[in-house]
Amino acid sequence: GAVVSQHPSRVICKSGTSVKIECRSLDFQATTMFWYRQFPKQSLMLMATSNEGSKATYEQGVEKDKFLINHASLTLSTLTVTSAHPEDSSFYICSAPSGGAHEQYFGPGTRLTVT
Amino acid sequence: EDQVTQSPEALRLQEGESSSLNCSYTVSGLRGLFWYRQDPGKGPEFLFTLYSAGEEKEKERLKATLTKKESFLHITAPKPEDSATYLCAVAPGGGNKLTFGTGTQLKVEL
C-alpha cells in the first residue's frame, strides 16, 4: 500500500510560538492531501484540503491565518500552526489519496503539546 | 450533510468470540465507504473500500459488507491483536473528502 510519513511525531512548544508539521507521500505523488485533527477519544475532523500549486481549502470554522498550509510539491505538504495556544494541543494527521479507488492513506500523526 | 454513525462505541470480546460492528450512513451519492483500523497514538490504517450495496470484502478475520444504509464489519474468532478502534468513513459522489464516524473501540481479551 501507499506510504505517508509525518515529521515530527511529537512536538512540545511554548504558547505564542509557531510549529511546522511535514507530510510526505513516500512512494506516490499526491496533488491533494488532507489535514485532520483528532482530540482524545474523538474521531477525525477534517481541517483543510491541501492542493499542490494552489491555495488550500479550509473547512468551516478553521482559521486559515492560524493554520497555514503549503503544498510545495507533489510529495510534500506542510501545516504550520502559528501563535500556538494550549487549546491547539491535539493529534494532527495528514492523508493522501492513492490508486484508482482514491482511498486515503494516513500518516502516523503528530502529537502537538502547547505549554 | 453527510453523516456516519457507528455502534457500539465500545465492545469487549473474549478471544474467539465473533461479533459485528455497525456503520450507518447518509451521503449524497456514495462514491465509497471505507473501513480503517486505528491503534492508540497512530494514524488510521486502511482496511477496505466498498462501493455498492451487496459488495463484500475479506481480509484475514475481518469481513466488510455494505447495504444502501449501513455497513458491517464482521470479526470472526478475534485475537487480542485485533484490539483497536475501527473507523468507518464515507466519500460522496464526485468528492475526495471523507466524513468519519466516531469509531468502535474493540478490546479482545484472552
How many beta-carbon pairs below 8 A join chains A and B?
54
Q: What's the burial of B107, exposed, middle or buried (CB within 10 Å: 0-12/13-18/19+)? A: middle
Distances (CA, A) of A32 to A35, B36, B55: 10, 20, 28
Q: How many whole angstroms separate alpha carbon A67 and alpha carbon A27?
A: 26
Instruction: Work out the pLDDT band at A100, boundaries 50, 70, 90.
Output: low
Distance from CA of A56 to the nearest CA of B (A): 13
Distance from CA of B18 to the nearest CA of A (A): 24
B contact test, residue of A44, A50, A52, A112 with most B CBs within 10 A: A44
The pLDDT > 90 percentage for chain B reads 86
A34·B97 Cβ contact <8 A: yes
Residue type, position B80, single letter: P
CB of B94 less than 8 A from some CB of A: no
CB of A101 less than 8 A from some CB of B: yes
Distance from CA of B102 to the nearest CA of A (A): 5
Q: How many whole angstroms separate alpha carbon B54 and alpha carbon B65?
A: 7
Shortest CB distance from A108 goes to which of B42, B97, B103? B42
| pLDDT reported for residue B97 | 87
Provide DSSP, A20-50: EEEEEESSS--SEEEEEEE-TT---EEEEEE
Over the stretch B29-38, which tens digit does the pLDDT of each residue have?
Answer: 888 999 999 9
Q: Which residue has the cell 468507518?
A: B88
Query: Is pLDDT larger for residue B91 or for residue B74?
Result: B74
B96·A49 Cβ contact <8 A: yes
Shortest CB distance from A46 goes to which of B41, B87, B97? B97
Over the stretch A44-98, which tens digit does the pLDDT of each residue have?
Answer: 999 999 999 889 999 999 999 999 999 989 999 999 999 999 999 999 999 999 8
Over the stretch B75-109, which tens digit does the pLDDT of each residue have?
Answer: 999 999 999 999 999 998 877 789 999 999 999 99
CB contacts of B44 in chain A (<8 Å) are 44, 93, 106
Shortest CB distance from B87 goes to which of A43, A46, A49? A43
